Amino acid sequence: MSLSSHLREIVIITNNPAVVDDYPEASCHIQGSVQKVFTTVRDAVHKGARIITHPLCGSIKPNESPYKSVVITTATGKKAACDCQSDFLRQSQTPVKLDMKSLSIIEDAIATLARLPHRNRKYDESVLEDFRIIDLNFIRVANMTS
């Protein structure tokens, strides 16, 4: 089964416009840093989401690439709106089961990012495009293996 066949269940939390272009129906586009992507994923996990792709996948450290995408399943089965203000990120009125493995994974990713030195590099467009393609390819591989 591919990601595209699970659009009502799968959400890609991403700050990568290339991922949004390839998976517009499944993407929750974050305007911000990798840290913002990670905290959005953590907030979703607290509302019942489960992490499908590891936030630290690949060999590029999270402080080196400006782009990151994480695939999750939503507790409600509803896709996130473009501003990520959909039901799965709003405060839940009913208790949800917290997936402790997902919480541990995202908390560890946030801690890893915090330990790494902040890099405020200005990349030229060709390097940014490379980072977008690398991140997109991780999502494509997840799509092929799911």
The residues pairing with 90 across neighbouring beta strands, listed in sequence order, are none
Give the chain's mean pLDDT. 85
Give the separation between CA 19 and CA 137, rounded to whole angstroms. 9
Q: Would you put residue 48 in left (φ > 0), alpha (ψ -120 to 50) or beta? A: left
Q: Would you put residue 77 in left (φ > 0), alpha (ψ -120 to 50) or beta? A: left
* pLDDT tens string 109-119: 999 999 999 88
Q: How confident is the model at residue 144 (pLDDT cuts 50, 70, 90)?
A: confident
* pLDDT tens string 3-41: 544 444 789 999 999 999 999 999 999 999 999 999 999
* pLDDT tens string 55-71: 999 989 999 999 999 99
Overall pTM > 0.75: yes
- Of the two residues 8 and 47, the one the predictor is more confident about is 47
